[in-house]
Structure 1
Amino acid sequence: MTELRHNFVEVNRTRLHYVEAGEGPAVIFCHGFPELWYSWRHQLPALARAGYRAIALDMRGHGASDAPPDIESYDVCHTVGDVVGLMDALGIERAAFVGHDAGTSTAYHAALMRPDRVRGVMGLSVPYIPRGPVSILEAFQGAVPPGFYMLYFQEPGVAEKDLGRDVKETLRRLIYANSGQNPQVPFIMTVPPGGNLVDQLPAPDGPIEFLSEIDLEVYVAAYSRTTFRGGLNGYRVFQRNWEITAPWNGMALPVPSAYIGGTSDTVLHFPGFREAAQAMGNALFIEGAGHWIQAERAEQVNEELIKFLATLPR
C-alpha cells in the first residue's frame, strides 16, 4: 500500500495541510467545492507508483487548512500564492498542476502568473477560459436560469445556512446530483425565489457508485467542523478575480495543457464551455461521466494524466 504523508506548512501567514505520496517530479493537485485533498485519493497512489511526487493540499478554507475570515483572502492571487509558497517550502523548483472544478482557477492562474514554475497543467471538468471583457458572473446574466447556484452563493450567510442544516444530506445530494449516476442530464442547480438549494437536489435511492459511506464520512467530518464558508467564498471572489487579472486579459495558457471532462457533467453544458475545452487542444470527453470525474472514472483519468505528464519537459 502506498504511504500517504500528512504535513502542514506555513505559507504567507496561512497554515496549509497537504498530503503527498511518492518521489520524483512534483505534481500538485488543487481540489474544488465541496471537496478536500481526499478528492485525489485515487490519483496519489497511482502517480506515486508511476514515479511522481504527488501532492494534494486542502485549499485555504477547506479541511485542515486555515480559513481566513475575509472574502478577499480567497482571490486567485492568494490561492496561487499558496501553491507557489508550498513549492518554495518544499524545495520544488517546477511542478505540473492538476485542478478540478474551482481548483482549476488556481491551476490555470499559476500557469499564467508563474510559467517559470509550472511544467504543464491539466484541468478536470472546468476548462480554461481566457479573461474576457466581462466577468463570468456578468457573462452568465441572462444566459442561465434565474436562481442559478453561482448567483445564489454570492450573498454571505445565505448558502452557509442552507448547506449547513444537514451536512451529510447536503453532501450526498450535491455529489449525486452532479454525477453521471443522476439520469437527469444536464442537471442545472437553481434555487426558486424564497427557497433553498438542498431541497431542489435529487437524493440517491441507493449507494453512490463511486463514493463509499466511509468516503462520505471523511467529507462530512471535515465540513461539519469547518462549515461551507471557505468554499463559498471562492465563488464570491469571481468579480474580484476578473478585476485583478486584467494584465492577463485574453492570454492563452503559456504551458502545455490538457483537459478531461464527462459528457454528463453539467459544466460542459454552460454556454461556451465545451468549445473552451476543445480550444485547449488536448481534450478528452468521457462518455457518461459526471462532474466528479477523478472518482467516477479514476482508472481512466489516472491513465490519461500519466500519459500527459510523460509529454512534459523536465
Structure 2
Amino acid sequence: FDLAFSFRHQMIAAIDAGYRAIALELPGHGSSDLLRAERLPAREILRIIREALDARGVEKAIFVGHDHGAKILRELIAEDERIARGFVILATILSGRMPVDPTLLFRQAFSPNFFLLALEEPGPIEEILNADIEASLRYFHRGNAAGSIAFASTEYEFFDEIARGVDPGGALLHRDDEFAHYVRAFVRTGFDASLAILRPISENHRDERARRETLDLPMAFFLGGKDGQLPKERLEGYCPRELFPRAELFVFEDAGHFPHLEAPDAVNETLLDFIKRI
C-alpha cells in the first residue's frame, strides 16, 4: 500500500551527502508494469530486485526497507549476504523462522477478519480497497496522533474497518500535492499488486525455511515509539542480536509506523551516521 516515493526525504539526504541512492518500486506499483497475477511469491520479487541491481551495475549496497519491504530484503540478503554492506529495517522486527505455517498460528490467535487471513481469497479485499482509492490510502497513510485507533486494539482487522468507513484518526503523512501523487498511482494500478505480494504466506514460508536464519552484517532497526502496528509490549524482551549479532536498535519516540516520514530529520541523521560508521 506504498510507493518508493515514501523514501523521498532519505533519497534527498543520501544524495546531498554524496551517496548514490536508488529507490525501487515493488512490482505492479507506481509507474511499473501492471501486475496481473493474484499471487506473487517473494522469490519472484527477489529475482526482479537482483535484475534491477544488475542492470544498474550495483554489486554491493546498503539496503533500507519499511515493514514488509524489509522482510523481503531480509530474504534477498539471506540468499547471498555478499550483496549487502548494511541493512536498515524500518517499523518492524525480524524474528527466527517459524516452525509451522504462519497461517495456522494466525487462525489460532485471530478472527477470520485478521488482515492476512482476510486477503487469502482473491477478489473481496481488492473490491473493498479499490472502491475508494483515496479513502483507502488515507486509512493507511496516517501518522501518530492523539485519538488514532491502535491497530492492535482492533486485532488488525484493517479491511473490515475500511469497509465500514471507520475514521482511524491521525494526521495524513503527506502534503496535499504529495498525497495526490499516491492517489494518481493507485488509481492506475489499484491495490491488486499490494495484495498479491502479501497473499502467498504459506509458499513464502516454505521458501524461507531453506534460507539462512541469521545475518552477520551491520544492521539497524528504526522503530516508532508510538507505532500502532508495533506496540511496545511486542518489543518487551526483543533482542535482535540473538539472530543478528551486529544489529543496533533505534526508537524515535514521537513517531508512529512511518518514522522516515514522521521524523525525517532524525531518521536521516541516524541513517547517515550509520552509513558512515560501517
* Unmatched runs of 5 consecutive residues or more in structure 2: none
**Residue aligned with 2:167, SS:** coil
* Correspondence for 1:241 among 200, 204, 212: 204
- Output the CA distance in 2 between the equivalents of 1:75 and 1:231: 12
- Indicate the residue corresponding to 2:5 in structure 1: 38
Cα deviations by residue, 1:284-309 (Å, 9 ceiling, x for unpaired): 12213111221011111111111111
1:145-164 equivalences under 5 Å are 145-164=111-130
User: 2:185 corresponds to which letter in structure 1?
Assistant: A
Alpha-carbon spacing, 1:150–1:243, altered in 2? closer, same or farther (3 Å)? same
**Bigger fraction of residues in strand:** 1
Q: 2:189 corresponds to which letter in structure 1?
A: T
User: Residue 181 of structure 1 aligns with which residue?
Assistant: 145
Q: In the aligned structure 1, how far is the partner of 2:22 from the partner of 2:165?
A: 35
* Partner Cα distance (1:162, 1:134) in 2: 30
TM alignment of 1:111-122, pairs within 5 A: 111-122=77-88
Say whether 1:285 aligns with 2:260: no
Q: State the identity as a percent.
A: 28
2:23 pairs with 1:56: yes
Residue 70 (structure 1) aligned with residue 33 (structure 2): no
Instruction: Say whether 1:141 aligns with 2:112.
Output: no
| Contact persistence 1:104–1:123 (CA under 8 A) | yes
The offset of 1:266, in angstroms, is 2.7
The Cα shift of 1:219 comes to 0.6
Partner of 2:138: 172
Indicate conservation of the 8 Å contact 1:180/1:291, yes or no: yes
The alpha-carbon deviation at position 272 of structure 1 amounts to: 5.1
**Count, aligned residues:** 271
Distance in 1 (CA, whole Å) between partners of 2:229 and 2:237 is 12
With CA pairs under 8 Å and 6+ residues apart, which has the higher RCO, 1 or 2?
2
Matches of 2:79 and 2:113 in 1, distance apart? 33
Helix, strand or coil for the counterpart of 1:42? helix
* 8 Å CA contact 1:62, 1:226 repeated in 2: yes
1:155 is paired with a residue whose SS is coil
Distance 2:228 2:77 in 1: 25
Instruction: Indicate the residue corresponding to 1:266 in structure 2.
Output: 228
Which residue, 266, 271, 274 being the options, matches 1:305?
A: 271
Residue 199 (str. 1) matches residue 161 (str. 2): no
CA shift, 1:213, in A, is: 1.0
Q: Which has the higher helix share?
A: 2
Q: Is the 8 A contact 1:63 1:226 kept in 2?
A: yes
Q: Do the aligned residues in 2 keep the contact of 1:263 with 1:288 (CA within 8 Å)? A: yes
Q: Distance in 2 between matches of 1:150 and 1:266?
A: 17
Q: 1:40 and 1:191 mapped to 2: Cα distance?
A: 24
Q: Give how far 1:110 is off.
A: 1.4
1:241–1:63 distance in 2 versus 1, CA, 3 Å: same
Inter-CA distance 138–127: structure 2 relative to 1 (3 Å threshold): same
Instruction: Summarize deviations over 1:248-280 as a string: whole Å, max 9, x none.
Output: 26x112322110111221332398566556445
| Partners of 1:270 and 1:235 in 2: CA distance | 24
Shift of 1:67: 3.4
Q: What is the letter of the counterpart of residue 226 of structure 2?
A: S
Give TM-score, length-normalised by structure 1. Answer: 0.79
**How far apart are residue 36 of structure 1 and its match?**
0.7
How well do the aligned residues superpose, as a CA RMSD in angstroms?
2.4
For residues 208-235 of structure 1, what are the alpha-carbon distances to aligned partners after superposition, in whole Å with 9 as ceiling and x for unaligned? 3x31111111110000010000001111
Aligned to 2:216: 254
Aligned to 2:98, the other structure's residue is in SS state: coil
- CA–CA separation in structure 2 for the residues paired with 1:101 and 1:257: 15
Please report how far the alpha carbon of residue 181 of structure 1 lies from its aligned counterpart in structure 2 after TM superposition: 2.0
Equivalent position SS for 1:282: strand
Q: Could you tell me how far apart the structure 2 residues matched to 1:203 and 1:61 are?
A: 27
Structure 1 segment 18-33 matched on structure 2, within 5 A: none
